[in-house]
């Protein structure tokens, strides 16, 4: 099968979606499919390496920004587009400058969702022509549903089947300011009608996608997010030592690092022995980190805290191997819970909020749930876990078993393959086949 895989870059940020795409694309290629990766916005940057592409970058971040904020200059520089969209320039231009706050991206988000009717009309036409006549795929995969305007274009004339991933776009769009939020919801629902399937990593995401995209019954399929447990395997059992709690995520308010630090204060009031907190992740919000450091400064002396910042893949694995448990204290309903799954792949039990993907992820053990944003409840989960190494060992084994059985990249690729084959059928329908999941009625 020839597959065009459209993946959205995030500049210099380590992109969890890019990691997801890296694993899926590599596994589909191992199944002998011809997968052409088409990067959008910026080069694709993952801590697992770079996706082999060979395609130009479309909707390049610099050009796209100018088309919205300075259309006259964008028109004058049209002949320089190959330079503006080059990997080298985009890497430099977006270093430390990628804006991820939805409250500040309303106009850019709306401009993309306007598709062929918006300021990027020529670029969407160029992208559609490239897909049809250069890649000539049997099916197109979009990394997320915010790229759905291309599905509308490819559904014209001789339709090409298009499926989309769903990676939590609802939390981003709901964070947009008005009037952009309402306009974007209306547009994304219109374009979602052209999607033959929306691939959701769990049943909670099916519900989230159904609400945001106004999906029809049978238009969503559950395909778990991939994690390669072999890459996280421990070379040896963790040596006894200072009990260690880990945090592995970007550092910004919605991820809840401050909730964890406050909970560690409560834990320290109960456990007087030495303990550690290891914090790893890109510092997206320096102001927020400064407030967290103030909280860290109030912890008692027997709690050691190390803020590692951004880490390489090797450093991440080494960090997880030092942890007795990992906490993902997110304030939002996470769609995939990648950092939790990576901890589980390393045989480390996790503590996560009882919202989003986590109740399903931990339904067979592997960790504990707590009431979201409840510092006291989080401390009540951490304290006994640190005191009971046998329970941690048992939970860690369950965590690893869960990842191996549900999130193996090759198994995920095979499930993706089944959906792609189904939507290519001449008499394709959204009727739910056996074993598939339906989006809820809206």
55-78 residue pLDDT tens: 888 887 666 767 776 666 656 556
% of the chain with per-residue pLDDT over 70: 82
Low-confidence stretches of the chain (pLDDT < 70) are: 10-16, 43, 45-53, 61-63, 65, 69-103, 236-240, 427-442
Q: Evaluate whether the domain defined by 229-406 bears CATH number 3.90.226.10.
A: no
Angle at which helices 16-30 and 338-345 cross, to 10°: 60
State residue 342's pLDDT score. 96
From residue 61, give the alpha-carbon distance in Å to each of 18, 19, 94, 117: 16, 20, 8, 19
Range list for CATH 3.40.50.2000 in the chain: 2-226+410-423, 229-406
Residue 340 to residue 320: CA distance in whole angstroms: 11
pLDDT, tens only, 211-247: 999 999 999 999 999 999 999 987 766 666 899 999 9
Overall fold of domain 2-226+410-423: Rossmann fold (3.40.50)
How wide is the angle at C-alpha 168 spanned by C-alphas 165 and 169, nearest 5°? 85
Residue 264 to residue 306: CA distance in whole angstroms: 13
State residue 239's pLDDT score. 65
**Alpha helices for 95-179 (secondary structure H):** 106-113, 121-130, 149-154, 169-174
User: With a threshold of 0.95, does the pTM exceed it?
Assistant: no
């Amino acid at each position: 099968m020839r597959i065009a895989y459209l993946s959205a870059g995030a500049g210099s940020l380590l992109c969890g979606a890019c990691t997801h795409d890296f694993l899926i694309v590599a596994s589909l290629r191992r199944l002998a499919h011809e997968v052409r990766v088409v990067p959008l916005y910026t080069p694709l940057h993952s801590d697992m390496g770079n996706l082999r592409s060979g395609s130009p970058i479309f909707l390049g971040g610099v050009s796209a920004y100018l088309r919205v904020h300075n259309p006259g200059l964008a028109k004058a520089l049209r002949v320089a587009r190959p330079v503006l969209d080059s990997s080298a320039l985009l890497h430099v231009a977006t270093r430390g400058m990628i804006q991820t706050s939805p409250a500040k991206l309303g106009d850019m988000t709306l401009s993309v969702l306007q598709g062929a009717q918006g300021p990027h009309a020529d670029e969407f036409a160029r992208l559609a022509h490239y897909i049809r006549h250069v890649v000539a795929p049997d099916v197109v995969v979009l990394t997320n549903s915010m790229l759905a305007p291309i599905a509308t274009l490819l559904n014209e004339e001789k339709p090409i089947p298009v499926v989309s991933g769903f990676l939590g776009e609802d939390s981003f769009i709901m964070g947009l300011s008005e009037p952009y939020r309402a306009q974007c919801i209306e547009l994304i629902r219109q374009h979602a009608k052209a999607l033959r399937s929306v691939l959701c990593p769990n049943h909670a995401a099916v519900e989230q996608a159904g609400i945001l995209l106004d999906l029809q019954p049978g238009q969503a399929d559950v395909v778990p997010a991939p994690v390669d447990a072999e890459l996280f395997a421990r070379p040896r059992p963790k040596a006894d030592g200072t009990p260690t709690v880990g945090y592995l995520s970007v550092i910004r308010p919605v991820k809840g690092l401050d909730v964890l630090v406050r909970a560690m204060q409560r834990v320290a009031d109960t456990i007087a022995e030495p303990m550690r907190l290891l914090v790893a992740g890109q510092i997206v919000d320096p102001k927020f980190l400064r407030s967290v450091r103030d909280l860290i400064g109030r912890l008692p002396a027997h709690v050691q805290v190390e803020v590692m910042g951004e880490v390489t893949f090797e450093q991440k694995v080494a960090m997880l191997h030092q942890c007795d448990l990992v906490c993902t204290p997110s304030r939002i309903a996470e769609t995939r819970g990648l950092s939790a799954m990576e901890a589980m792949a390393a045989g480390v039990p996790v503590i996560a909020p009882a919202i989003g993907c986590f109740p399903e992820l931990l339904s067979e053990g592997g960790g504990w749930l707590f009431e979201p944003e409840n510092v006291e409840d989080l401390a009540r989960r951490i304290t006994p876990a640190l005191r009971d190494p046998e329970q941690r060992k048992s939970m860690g084994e369950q965590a690893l078993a869960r990842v191996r059985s549900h999130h193996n990249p090759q198994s995920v690729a095979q499930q993706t393959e089944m959906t792609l084959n189904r939507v290519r059928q001449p008499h394709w329908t959204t009727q739910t086949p056996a074993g598939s999941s339906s989006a809820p009625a809206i």
